[in-house]
Structure 1
């Protein structure tokens, strides 16, 4: 199986509310030789307000995002989806992609009525090169040069890491340049730490991770916080009752018999500690795992492997106690709070089979036929997104009352923070803060963005007063 290295540039950091404006990918064979590449840009969606910090980071003037010659967001996502399906099955790799780029891609697909889990389905696997680099710096430090910040802490920013390892990266935060840098770093690890690379590939597969954590008596789970790797000896307790791909693991610092002797109240207090002795991993998120017998001295930190294995084995053999821990932990952790906004509801349920067939047809029919399909959808989330797509691409087919519903929905997101989006006024305030602060704007992006925002606020205010005058009256 080959690889697809990819990256996105976006209008901000909020999954579902911000949008992708530049997508790039390089396809390679199993030996990381490039076989194809693809990139596409998009113009700004009418209801999305870029964060000025994102424009500065990506060096994107607002004039570029509003260029009418660019593809629409819908056309961009269609092109991305077609290309990635053609390249499937593959292992999809990005830099901090599991937490960010994968999420942005899922939301983009979902909001344009495509199956959201493209990189997890279709025979694909996914992995994150940021975790690989952090693991390499800890477990095979000779294979990478990791720059240090003023306080002596390692820096894993892609541009800094690429530069320190003599990889050309002249256009940091350009999607294709970031993809090439990620690929270059992975080639270094593959060449200099082949065992670590093979483990990276192995645990990109959801089924392999599931089998490993369930069959091993215990193992080391490596987690990364503030660019530091933390290695914990753990045993898998069982599935997370709230997340099918989640697995709950317990640190092995305390002998099981001491925990078993605690009252429920005392055990709840123990489990609710910060950081919690219960660690959660996702089998579909390429976790960093190490078998006890593969753990180097740095990871063991003086621990006795025989004692760790014995504790893990006793916990594995006591199903009732493991169930008790899971139940008590679930009772003390913060419950999932569903989003009030459709942009944040992607994980509130899978799309049903009937709707899957309908949204597949949506892309191959006229706008009037698409409207009929949207009306038949069972999933309210899809109906909202479908109406938006029709409004952007063929609004003349929308009945007047439905057009007004969509316009109210979209313009609310520009002016009302309660609607969930980053508003025009918030963007103007942030732009003025950055303009008056110590931020660097070598490209002169902020003045143009400020002018755009002031004009847009005026036009949206005028539009709403005119369109919704009857409601106000």
Structure 2
């Protein structure tokens, strides 16, 4: 089974944004559609949408307030659908690095299982990754358009159109249109490149990538446009789904005897990096050397050299020990975020007791939810629950809690401080910048931008008067 989906969101940063529109398609193994839904939700009161995002998606300010569902209600529908459709392979276009992160953080801040796309046997795949792999391994079976700079463009609409799949520029950035186009492109890839697609689908299982990297064989790692020969060296001791691999085009003599701190610098060095970090849970393009060596440039097809270097690297115990130490200390000096939304990965997993309490919270009347929230052991969940009560059921709060919440909301939206989320003043500045770059003849674009500016200014004035 497969689940194809797309999101349209309030902005780009996962910690501070949420989906506004979603579309999900449920298919069988042959990609015949079994069901679908497309939903819109109202803008949560504490979020200022990016004017650029609204311009891209075509969402108008009045739509932000008139959708039939709240953000919490829409996310609950998604979570229940994912649970009922398990197990399946969850696929979108550029979803693992973007939509997945948005959805994961939205689930987290709405007291839903953050890793819902990986529970109950689900696997995650990304059609953009598959398109890149096919373009590298079988360039004759797929057309990739060029942008104005003469470089390959992997935008969904452009790739679809040059391969005979309808997705107009006007329809793009509508969640349902994008999801249906993604499904059509997936069907096309399975038809023209079945072996490559099957290989990439197998890599949706992180265990497959982990086994390949642990095996000591020379592999090919795919990036955005080319393949590189690598060998797995050691897993990250603090992150089970992260592996360090050595780029075999670089002579290991230049780094094998370095100390741990010097090896650590190689991981972040600019230019060609001898040490490559591979996330095994994001469907990496990780192939057997024989499967993709034909796609290497002639000067990089030296199998004997790569096997010799790979054996030398893996047998150097001192290097592996120093690399392991460097990985363990990689983020040792990173300061934790003071903002709960940014602590999904740094603040620890949600306990089983709190997870069960979240289920009770969602299944209870709003009047009973503040008491359940008070029992959370995780302070992040308490903050999120109190926020949701303020935004969606203020009548459930005590007068003192409501006043405290309104003060927080006003400061959240209108502060002039340097904060990581988008505020109304920042958004009005973005409107000014967008207006300067918008062609004068784009009458519809200017009208849309004017409407966004009026809406933002009205919000700003409302909270100024309330203060």
TM class by smaller structure = over 0.9
2:45 paired with 1:49: no
**Kindly tell me: are residues 71 and 261 of structure 1, through their superposed partners in 2, closer, same or farther at Cα, counting changes over 3 Å?**
closer
**Kindly tell me: are residues 35 and 255 of structure 1, through their superposed partners in 2, closer, same or farther at Cα, counting changes over 3 Å?**
same
Do the aligned partners of 1:52 and 1:427 also contact (CA within 8 Å) in 2? yes
**Kindly tell me: are residues 221 and 335 of structure 1, through their superposed partners in 2, closer, same or farther at Cα, counting changes over 3 Å?**
farther
**Kindly tell me: are residues 17 and 298 of structure 1, through their superposed partners in 2, closer, same or farther at Cα, counting changes over 3 Å?**
same
Instruction: Report deviation, 1:10.
Output: 0.6
RMSD: 2.1
Partner of 1:152: 150
2:186 paired with 1:189: no
**Kindly tell me: are residues 272 and 22 of structure 1, through their superposed partners in 2, closer, same or farther at Cα, counting changes over 3 Å?**
closer
Do the aligned partners of 2:41 and 2:74 also contact (CA within 8 Å) in 1? yes
Do the aligned partners of 1:143 and 1:188 also contact (CA within 8 Å) in 2? no
The total of aligned residue pairs comes to: 458
Give the Cα–Cα distance (whole angstroms) in 2 for the partners of residues 241 and 390 of structure 1.
40
Partner of 1:279: 276
Instruction: Report deviation, 1:75.
Output: 0.7
Partner of 1:369: 368
Matched position secondary structure for 1:127: strand
Partner of 1:180: 180
Matched position secondary structure for 2:363: coil
**Kindly tell me: are residues 272 and 157 of structure 1, through their superposed partners in 2, closer, same or farther at Cα, counting changes over 3 Å?**
closer
Deviations 1:427-471 (A, max 9, x none): 1121122223335463531111111111111101111x2xxxxxx
Partner of 1:246: 242
Instruction: Report deviation, 1:332.
Output: 6.8
Partner of 2:455: 452
Matched position secondary structure for 2:133: helix
- TM-score, normalised to structure 2's length? 0.93
Instruction: Report deviation, 1:394.
Output: 2.4
Instruction: Report deviation, 1:191.
Output: 0.6
Do the aligned partners of 2:260 and 2:323 also contact (CA within 8 Å) in 1? no
Do the aligned partners of 2:259 and 2:322 also contact (CA within 8 Å) in 1? no
Do the aligned partners of 1:220 and 1:295 also contact (CA within 8 Å) in 2? yes
Deviations 1:43-92 (A, max 9, x none): 1111111111111110111111111x521111111111111211111100
- TM-score, normalised to structure 1's length? 0.91
Matched position secondary structure for 1:260: coil
Give 1:296-445 correspondences, 5 Å limit: 296-299=293-296, 301-302=298-299, 303-328=301-326, 336-348=334-346, 349-416=348-415, 417-439=417-439, 440=442, 442=444, 444-445=447-448
Give the Cα–Cα distance (whole angstroms) in 2 for the partners of residues 37 and 116 of structure 1.
22
Instruction: Report deviation, 1:263.
Output: 5.7
Do the aligned partners of 1:272 and 1:329 also contact (CA within 8 Å) in 2? no
| Structure 1: stretches of 5+ with no match in the other structure | 466-473
